Each structure stands twice: as structure tokens, then as C-alpha cells.
A and B are shown apart, each in its own frame.
Chain A
Amino acid sequence: MEAFLDTFFNGAVLARYAPSILQGVWVTVLLSVLIVISGIAGGSALACLRAYRIRLLSVLIVIYADIFRALPPLVLILLVFFGLPNIGILLSSFTVLYLILTLVLAAFAEEIVWAGITAVPKGQWEASRSTGLGFTQTLIWVVLPQAVRIVIPPLTNRAIAITKMTALGMVIGVPDILGQATTAQSFSANASPLMLAAIAYVFLFLPLVIFSRWLETRFAAPGV
């Protein structure tokens, strides 16, 4: 029991490394917020573009979405972080992590929002167009507000799944929660910093998971 406590909840180690892990919390939060905002915005924009059914554009969007949904994000992160410098492009590890996860989230968000747009019945388009609204106006005022209701629960789940992947930043040295914790762990030869990291993740993501559960029940009922 003593050995367990000493390994996972060592008071001295915890006190020493808590500040750096707290710094990591801010990095993780900042990354997550940036990724969620730009990933969902980008994915939604792509889904809207796809609604115009311009052949070539749609094909390109589908190819992008499929590739970024198929590849493990870690592969992309390593490829970009270690590959791009060879052709003279130097990006910070923070930027690489942000870019890749944004692109991955945007790919998933595009598919989810597109599914939401196509789930809105054709009659809604027709009613709107028959009263003189244009295609874009119909998309904005009639279709998207209905698609959003369909899309929010799966989009929230996906956003949580992707932001959790900020932990992958550790392998390229991003000073996020896990990055700080592994550094601390190797300096102190003690697992307590990792335990602290786990607790930090629970505090960050558990409210989001509960929130998404609430959203699911909130939007489950059809109609209003």
C-alpha cells in the first residue's frame, strides 16, 4: 500500500510538478478550443460548399474527408513534424498538432454536417424556394437551422474524441498536460505526475462528456 501511494500519489513529487502540469492544462485547453472552433467551422463550411453540388468541388471534399478520416492522426502528426523540415518548412510542435487535429476534426465535421443537411426533407427546400428564397438563403434560414439540431450530438462526441488526441502532442514535444507529465515523470522517476495528468484530463473532459449526454437527450425528441 505504501509503495502504491509512493508511486502514484507521492506528495513531494506532486507538489514539485503541479505547477508545470497546470501550465500544461492551459496549453491543452488553448489547443482544444482552437481545434474545436476551427475544425467545426471548417467542416461546416465544406459541407455547405458540398450542398451546391458542384461536381469537381464535391469530389475534392469527399477525397479530403475520407483520407483524413482514414489515416491515424499520429501518422499525420509524425509525417508533418518530421517531414516538412526536410523541404524547408519549420513549424512548431504546437502548430503541427493544431493543424493536423483541426484538419481531422474538419473532415469528420464535414461528413456529420453533410449528413445533417441531407437529412432535411426535400419539401423544406421546395417550400422555401417556392416563396422566392434563393439557394443560399434557403440553406442559411431553412436547412442549416434544422441540420444543426440533428448534428449537435454526434458533432460534440467527435469534438471530444479529437480534442483528447491533443495528448498525442507528447511525441513531438508539445508542452500540454501529458507532455509536461511525462517530462516530470522522467525527471522524478515517479508516476505521480502521470496520475496528476489523468486527474486533470478527467476534470477537463468529464464535464464535456456529461454536457454531450445532456445534448443528446435535449435533441433526441423530433419536432420542436
Chain B
Amino acid sequence: MTQAAQGAVAPPTLTVRGLRKSFGAEEVLKGIDLTIARSELVFVLGPSGSGKSTMLRCCNRLEEPDAGEITLEGDPVTGPKVDLNRLRLRMGMVFQAFNLYPHLSALSNVTLALRKVRRLPRAKAEALGLAALDRVGLKAKAGSYPAQLSGGQQQRVAIARALALEPSVMLFDEPTSALDPELVGDVLAVMQDMKAQGMTMLVVSHEMKFARDAADRVIFMDAGRIVEEGSPEQIFEAPQHERTETFLARFSGRG
């Protein structure tokens, strides 16, 4: 109601308030607060097991949060009377392992949800699917099956599969970690292009260069909490917390 009173102020694309999640006795997320503005690219860093994937997966409720509130463009994502499948059309997700459907062609991978969830007729779905494949540079591979594509191509098809639904936000969980180094660039280029087109993105990744080039904000997570956040310059050049510093030092040492 207050928002309506304020008139033109659009709600943030994604908000997360007090998000908690345990697996058994282990509390993996210990109260996460996060707000992502429209067209913002938020980059998430953190050691293995810090809860990055779990946080991402709670956003579209692939993982059910124990506590906390999540909204997408002002609409509740958590809570009882939520039509989750409708909401998920507005939240694209890209997985580390691509997870393309091996029995379907690239185009059919992209059009499945258009046809079965948005219930578009085949011709319309295929037009949108081809347009999405074109955006990731793979229109020519529309008829290929996942097994006939390189890892980088598969991941770009997976991105197209999410993009085709015209989501309000895209969630990336280590999209390039499973790729050979020479294939990483193509995927990052597609992501950079999406950013340039104004897509809102939440990206868990270890590609520091990409973070510097494309991120509006970098978040460092450790042991289920957001330890620190700031611009890429702030986080990479002048981290405020020792844990961030240690992590970054170890990381650059390795790379």
C-alpha cells in the first residue's frame, strides 16, 4: 500500500529477507538478506560449501526455504498461495552441469516450456525458440542433440532455454565451472551480452575477470552468511573482512 502511495517506484526485481535453510542438523543459510534492482548484475563469491548454490536454489524454490521471504517484482515467491510454476517462468536458471534434455533437439529443449507451460502453438514456440538460440549464437544448431554439441554450446542452449521464457531475472550457478577453459569465453560473452541488454542477473561463479567487467555488485558469502558486499573494485582491491581477503588471496594464488 505504501508502495502504491509512492507511485512510480517500481519494486526491486528480487528481494530476499531473512532466508534460512538447514539440511538435517547443519544450518547452511543463516539469514540472508539481498535486494537486486532491475538490470543489476550481482556476482556471488565464496568458498565451497558456503551456501551459494543453496541460496540460488531457494530463490526459485528448487530448495524449500525454512524461513524468510522472497519476492519477485513485488510478488511473493514464498508463502502458501503462490503459483510456483507461473513464477518460475519469470526466473530463468542455468546450472553448472547444463542439464539439457538429452532426448530432445536444441530447439525442442528451448521450446518445451513454451509449449507445455505457456501453451503456445508449435509455430509460435519455434519462432521464439529460434530467436533465443540466435541470441546465444546457435541458431544453426537448432536441430542438433545435446550429445552432438560441445560443453560451451550446451550451456548456451541451456541459457537460451531460460531466455526464451523472457524471465525477469536469471540465476546462474557456476555456469562455466564444468567447461574446458577455451569454451568459457563464449558463455561469458553471451552473459555479458545479456547484461548489456538489461537482464537482471544473479551469478554464482569464480570468473573474477567477468565480475570485474560486468558485475554491478559483488557479494562474498561464507558459512551461510553474506560477509561483505560492494562494487567489484571495493571487494577485489580493498576487502574489509579478513575472510574475504584470505579467500581472494587463495584464489588468485591458485589461478
Binding site for B on A (CB under 8 A): 121, 123-124, 126-134, 137, 141-142, 145-146, 149, 223-224
Q: Which 3 A-B pairs have the closest CB atoms?
A: A223-B147, A127-B99, A131-B113
Give CA–CA (A141, B115) in the complex, Å. Answer: 11
User: Number of B interface residues, CB 8 Å?
Assistant: 29
Chain B nearest Cβ from A125, distance in angstroms: 9
**Of B26-34, B70-78, B86-94, B131-139, which stretch is located at the interface?**
B86-94
Which residues on B sit within 8 Å (CB–CB) of A127?
93, 95, 99-101, 158, 161
Asked if A132 meets B113 with Cβ closer than 8 Å, knowing A124-B99, A126-B95, A145-B103, the reply is yes
Give CA–CA (A149, B145) in the complex, Å. Answer: 16
Asked if A131 meets B147 with Cβ closer than 8 Å, knowing A123-B95, A141-B116, the reply is no
Q: Number of A-B pairs whose CB atoms are under 8 Å?
A: 73
Are B102 and A130 closer than 8 Å at their CB atoms? no
User: Digit string of B78-117 for contact with A (CB within 8 Å is 1, else 0)?
Assistant: 0000000110110111010101111100000000110011
Are A142 and B101 closer than 8 Å at their CB atoms? yes
Q: Does B234 lie at the interface of the complex (its beta carbon under 8 Å from any beta carbon of A)?
A: no
Are A131 and B148 closer than 8 Å at their CB atoms? no
Which residues on B sit within 8 Å (CB–CB) of A131?
88-89, 92, 112-113, 117, 161-162, 165
Are A129 and B97 closer than 8 Å at their CB atoms? no
Which residues on B sit within 8 Å (CB–CB) of A133?
85, 112-113, 116-117
Jot down 14 A-B pairs with beta carbons below 8 A, ordered by A: A124-B101, A126-B93, A127-B99, A127-B101, A130-B60, A130-B93, A131-B161, A132-B85, A132-B89, A134-B85, A137-B116, A137-B117, A146-B103, A223-B145
Which residues on B sit within 8 Å (CB–CB) of A126?
62, 93, 95, 99
Are B85 and A123 closer than 8 Å at their CB atoms? no
Binding site for A on B (CB under 8 A): 60, 62, 85-86, 88-89, 91-93, 95, 97, 99-103, 112-113, 116-118, 145-148, 158, 161-162, 165
Are B112 and A224 closer than 8 Å at their CB atoms? no
Interface-central residue, A124, A131, A141, by most chain B CB under 10 Å: A131
Which residues on A sit within 8 Å (CB–CB) of B89?
131-132
Which residues on A sit within 8 Å (CB–CB) of B88?
129-132
Which residues on A sit within 8 Å (CB–CB) of B103?
145-146, 149, 224
Give CA–CA (A130, B148) in the complex, Å. Answer: 24
Give CA–CA (A133, B101) in the complex, Å. Answer: 13
Chain B nearest Cβ from A85, distance in angstroms: 49
Give CA–CA (A142, B103) in the complex, Å. Answer: 8
Which residues on B sit within 8 Å (CB–CB) of A134?
85
Are B99 and A146 closer than 8 Å at their CB atoms? no
Which residues on B sit within 8 Å (CB–CB) of A130?
60, 62, 88, 91-93, 162
Give CA–CA (A169, B147) in the complex, Å. Answer: 47
Which residues on B sit within 8 Å (CB–CB) of A129?
62, 88
Asked if A123 meets B102 with Cβ closer than 8 Å, knowing A129-B62, A132-B113, A137-B116, the reply is no
Give CA–CA (A127, B155) in the complex, Å. Answer: 12
Q: Which residue of B lies closest to A122 (CB)?
A: B99
Give CA–CA (A133, B145) in the complex, Å. Answer: 21
Give CA–CA (A171, B55) in the complex, Å. Answer: 64
Chain A nearest Cβ from B54, distance in angstroms: 13
Q: Which residue of A lies closest to B101 (CB)?
A: A142
Give CA–CA (A141, B103) in the complex, Å. Answer: 10
Chain A nearest Cβ from B124, distance in angstroms: 17
Q: Which residue of B lies closest to A123 (CB)?
A: B99
Q: Which residue of B lies closest to A140 (CB)?
A: B116
Q: Which residue of B lies closest to A142 (CB)?
A: B101
Q: Which residue of B lies closest to A135 (CB)?
A: B85
